[in-house]
Amino acid sequence: MTGARVLITAGASGIGRAIAVAFHDEGARIHLCDISAEHLAEALVALPGASGTLADVAAPEQVDRVFADLQAHLGGLDVLINNAGIAGPTAPVEEISPEEWERTLAVNITGQFLCARRAVPLLKAAGGGSIINLASVAGRFGFPLRTPYAASKWAVIGFTKSLAMEVGPSQIRVNAILPGPIIGDRLHRVFRARAEAEGVTEAEIDRRAVERVSLRRLIPPEDVASAALFLCSEAGRSITGHSLNVDGNVEGLP
* CA dist., res. 204 & res. 207, Å (int): 5
Region 226-249 average pLDDT: 98
Sequence-ordered strand ranges (E) for 15-137: 29-34, 51-54, 79-82, 129-134
Q: What is residue 86's predicted lDDT score, i.e. its pLDDT?
A: 97
Q: What is residue 161's predicted lDDT score, i.e. its pLDDT?
A: 98
Question: Of the candidates 97, 241, 54, which has an alpha carbon nearest to the alpha carbon of residue 157?
Answer: 241
Q: Examine the pLDDT at 224 and tell me if it is beyond 90.
A: yes
| Paired residues of 228 in beta bridges | none
Q: What is residue 242's predicted lDDT score, i.e. its pLDDT?
A: 98
Domains of the chain by start residue, with CATH:
5-182+220-246 (3.40.50.720), 184-218 (no CATH)
Indicate which residue of 23, 67, 143, 149 is catalytic: 149
Q: What is residue 206's predicted lDDT score, i.e. its pLDDT?
A: 82
Residues present in the chain in total: 254
Q: What is residue 122's predicted lDDT score, i.e. its pLDDT?
A: 98
Question: Of the candidates 111, 178, 60, which has an alpha carbon nearest to the alpha carbon of residue 102?
Answer: 111
Q: pTM, whole model, 2 decimals?
A: 0.94
> Would you give the DSSP letter of residue 109?
I
Sequence-ordered strand ranges (E) for the chain: 5-9, 29-34, 51-54, 79-82, 129-134, 172-179, 243-246
- Helix, strand, coil percentages in the chain from 3-state DSSP, rounded to 5: 55, 15, 30
Average pLDDT, the chain: 96
Where does residue 199 rank: exposed (0-12), middle (13-18), buried (19+ CB within 10 A)?
A: exposed
> What is the C-alpha radius of gyration for the chain, rounded to an integer number of angstroms?
17
Question: Of the candidates 26, 45, 43, 23, which has an alpha carbon nearest to the alpha carbon of residue 34?
Answer: 43
pLDDT band at 249 (very low <50, low <70, confident <90, very high): very high
pLDDT digits (tens, 9 = 90+) for 168-199: 999 999 999 999 999 888 777 878 888 888 88
pLDDT band at 62 (very low <50, low <70, confident <90, very high): very high
The string over 86-109, giving b where at least 16 C-beta atoms fall within 10 Å of a residue's C-beta and e elsewhere, is bbbbbbeeeebeeeebebbbbbbb
Q: What is residue 135's predicted lDDT score, i.e. its pLDDT?
A: 98
Q: What is residue 197's predicted lDDT score, i.e. its pLDDT?
A: 83
User: Phi then psi for 99, rounded to 5 degrees?
Assistant: -65, -40
pLDDT digits (tens, 9 = 90+) for 98-112: 999 999 999 999 999
63 is catalytic: no
pLDDT digits (tens, 9 = 90+) for 205-223: 888 889 999 999 999 999 9
What proportion of the chain, given as a percentage, has pLDDT over 90?
Answer: 88
pLDDT digits (tens, 9 = 90+) for 121-160: 999 999 999 999 999 999 999 999 999 999 999 999 999 9
Greatest Cα pair distance in the chain: 54
Question: Of the candidates 129, 149, 17, 35, which has an alpha carbon nearest to the alpha carbon of residue 79?
Answer: 129
